[in-house]
């Protein structure tokens, strides 16, 4: 038995006795789908770290919307191509099986929703909509993003003609407070908190496991690298989410129905009609 097998078994035991499981995911759950961690300078999306603070802030967006969208374009390209992976699907299945109360994500890429998760709290916003930072007009993002990617036209507000930005949280911006509040309430009432693919470095979403622990929850962490909460966790699995999550979730999924083979036709009623000729022998027989 591998060490990770024993850890997965321990995590499954904790999940069996839990009544309110809440999960938090970060960039690490979408990297197997080919999406880089856009907040990380290591992602290759940043020429130099200083750019990040100039471009992807609300101030940067207001002053240089073109530079912001130029920065966003390669990220949009990969996100639009990406497909949900086995880890996204595992969490959606866990919810459908009634074993996951809420899924909180730091990701903006919509992959959890596309995998079928419904009790979803996107605390860093999402790419479904664009919003006008001046008059707060909100519109579905699809047409605007298609126009931008095809002919470079920046999204403009229909009401006030200012440039619109995707409904994602930029650096230095406040998180959507209603979503964050709901996420905190779920963390508060969880008796098992599952972290998947987050190093828990980005506050305040990264603080949710501590909130859950403070209210008596158990903590399971699945992440490739170490996290800030490894010491506090009941089970830490340093592994790939696409390997680990399906195994963690599998015991909670409904058993597939066994399909019984159709009954064999009664033998001997019409001998010779459908039977193979006598000289044909089943291989191995005789």
The nearest distance, CB 139 to Zn ion, in angstroms, is 10
CA distance 124 to 253: 29
* 159 binding Zn ion? (CB under 5 A): yes
The nearest distance, CB 60 to Zn ion, in angstroms, is 18
* 133 binding Zn ion? (CB under 5 A): no
Q: Which one of the spans 1-9, 23-31, 127-135, 212-220 is the region binding Zn ion (CB under 5 A)?
A: 127-135
Q: Which of 112, 124, 126, 186 is catalytic?
A: 124
* 171 binding Zn ion? (CB under 5 A): no
Strand-by-strand arrangement of the 125-131 sheet: 138-140, 125-131, 165-168
Considering the complex, state which of residue 4 and residue 134 has its C-beta at the smaller distance from Zn ion: 134
Considering the complex, state which of residue 46 and residue 68 has its C-beta at the smaller distance from Zn ion: 68
**Cβ contacts of residue 15 below 8 Å, gap of 6+?**
21, 99, 192, 194, 220, 248, 252
Do 224 and 240 form a contact (C-beta atoms < 8 A)?
yes
Do 126 and 52 form a contact (C-beta atoms < 8 A)?
no
Q: Which one of the spans 2-10, 56-64, 107-115, 124-132 is the region binding Zn ion (CB under 5 A)?
A: 124-132
Among 58, 137, 207, 246, indicate the residue that binds Zn ion (CB under 5 A).
137
Do 238 and 267 form a contact (C-beta atoms < 8 A)?
no
Considering the complex, state which of residue 104 and residue 132 has its C-beta at the smaller distance from Zn ion: 132
> Is 186 in the active site?
no
* 135 binding Zn ion? (CB under 5 A): yes
Among 40, 96, 134, 189, indicate the residue that binds Zn ion (CB under 5 A).
134
Q: Which one of the spans 37-45, 91-99, 156-164, 206-214 is the region binding Zn ion (CB under 5 A)?
A: 156-164
- In Å, how far are 31, 41, 70, 140, 181 from 166, measured between CA atoms? 21, 21, 13, 9, 21
- The set of catalytic residues is 124
Binding site for Zn ion (CB under 5 A): 132, 134-135, 137, 157, 159-160, 162
């Amino acid at each position: 038995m591998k060490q990770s097998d024993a850890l997965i078994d321990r995590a499954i035991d904790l999940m069996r006795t839990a009544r309110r499981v809440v999960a938090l995911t970060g960039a690490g759950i979408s990297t197997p789908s080919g999406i880089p961690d856009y907040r990380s300078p290591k992602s290759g999306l940043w020429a130099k770290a200083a750019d990040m603070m100039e471009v992807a802030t609300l101030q940067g967006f207001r002053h240089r919307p073109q530079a912001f969208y130029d920065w966003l374009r390669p990220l949009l390209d990969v996100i639009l191509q990406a497909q949900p992976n086995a880890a996204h699907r595992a969490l959606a299945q866990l919810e459908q099986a009634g074993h996951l109360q809420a899924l909180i994500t730091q990701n903006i890429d919509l992959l959890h929703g596309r995998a079928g998760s419904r009790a979803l709290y996107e605390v860093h916003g999402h790419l479904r909509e664009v919003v006008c930072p001046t008059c707060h007009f909100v519109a579905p993002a699809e047409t605007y993003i298609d126009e931008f990617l095809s002919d470079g036209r920046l999204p403009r507000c229909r009401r006030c003609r200012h440039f619109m930005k995707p409904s994602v949280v930029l650096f230095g911006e406040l998180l959507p407070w209603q979503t964050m509040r709901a996420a905190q309430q779920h963390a508060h009432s969880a008796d098992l908190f599952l972290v998947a693919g987050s190093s828990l470095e980005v506050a305040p979403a990264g603080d949710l496991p501590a909130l859950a622990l403070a209210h008596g929850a158990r903590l399971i962490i699945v992440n490739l690298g170490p996290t800030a909460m490894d010491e506090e966790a009941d089970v830490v699995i340093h592994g790939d989410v696409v390997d680990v999550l399906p195994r963690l979730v599998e015991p909670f999924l409904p058993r597939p129905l066994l399909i019984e083979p159709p009954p064999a036709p009664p033998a001997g009623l019409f001998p010779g009609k459908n039977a193979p000729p006598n000289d044909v022998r089943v291989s191995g027989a005789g």
